[in-house]
């Protein structure tokens, strides 16, 4: 049996492929900030970037990214067989495998990630729009959805972590020594991300 590919090799490939395809992690972090910024007054781009990097550590996400980018690249080189070549190359409207692949990797981040993905799929902001409208050349049928899924997962992760941190802070407040967290100020706002 073949040796499994080391996680580091896979992660390095993900970073390299995103870079080769013109996606910077700060581009994705900007989308995360747009999604979560309104719910957390001190949210910074650095926090969003840190969340993007954490999401990129997940094997399911890494595999989806590698599969999707590979198919985009093969379509660019016209190396797929017909009719798939034409379908992916033209980013045919009814071809849903790009969304399905990307969606599968956000499931682990809860409903906020899911609804954020739907929002990005519909509204396509920042680099997602650039990729979707094929500014420049190249096939980005899978990549736009993958970027949306990374951003959505990172946003979901931030929403849940922010709540955890609020509750931890509340639990440490004087007069709350019994460990029952005091309800935080605007906890449910993140739920509607």
Q: Which residue is nearest to Mg ion (CB)?
A: 98
Determine which residue in the list 27, 30, 72, 98 makes contact with Mg ion, applying CB under 5 A.
98
Give the nearer residue to Mg ion in terms of CB position, either 27 or 145.
Answer: 145
Give the nearer residue to Mg ion in terms of CB position, either 147 or 155.
Answer: 147
Min dist CB 153 to Mg ion, Å, is 17
Determine, following the binding rule CB under 5 A, whether residue 121 of this chain makes contact with Mg ion.
Answer: no
DSSP string of the chain, one letter each residue: -PPPPPHHHHHHHHHHHHHHTT--HHHHHHHHHHHHGGG-TT--HHHHHHHHHHHTT-HHHHHHHHHHHHHHHHHHTT-SPTTHHHHHHTT-TT--HHHHHHHHTTGGGHHHHHHHHHHHHHH--THHHHHHTT-SSS--TTHHHHHHHHHHHHHHHHHHHHHHHHHHHHHHSTT-TTS-PPPPSSGGGGGG-
Give the nearer residue to Mg ion in terms of CB position, either 144 or 166.
Answer: 144
Give the nearer residue to Mg ion in terms of CB position, either 95 or 107.
Answer: 95
Stretch near Mg ion under the rule CB under 5 A, chosen from 77-85, 97-105, 156-164, 176-184: 97-105
Stretch near Mg ion under the rule CB under 5 A, chosen from 8-16, 46-54, 73-81, 90-98: 90-98
Region 127-166 residues binding Mg ion, contact defined as CB under 5 A: 141, 144-145
Residues that bind Mg ion (CB under 5 A): 98, 141, 144-145
């Amino acid at each position: 049996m073949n040796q499994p590919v080391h996680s580091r090799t896979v992660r390095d490939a993900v970073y390299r492929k995103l870079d080769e395809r013109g996606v910077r992690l700060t581009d994705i972090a900007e989308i995360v900030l747009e999604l979560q910024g309104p719910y957390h007054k001190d949210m910074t781009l650095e926090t969003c970037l840190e969340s993007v990097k954490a999401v990129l550590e997940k094997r399911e996400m890494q595999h989806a990214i590698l599969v999707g980018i590979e198919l985009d690249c093969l379509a660019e080189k016209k190396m797929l067989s017909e009719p798939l070549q034409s379908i992916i190359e033209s980013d045919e409207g009814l071809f849903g495998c790009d969304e399905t692949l990307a969606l599968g990797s956000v499931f682990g981040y809860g409903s906020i990630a899911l609804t954020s993905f739907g929002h990005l799929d519909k509204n396509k902001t920042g680099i997602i729009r650039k990729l979707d409208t094929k500014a420049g050349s190249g096939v980005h049928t899978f990549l736009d959805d993958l970027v949306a899924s990374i951003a959505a997962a990172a946003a979901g992760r931030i929403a849940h972590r922010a709540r955890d941190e609020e509750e931890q802070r509340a639990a440490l407040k004087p007069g709350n020594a019994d460990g029952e967290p005091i309800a935080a100020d605007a906890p449910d706002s993140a739920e509607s991300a």
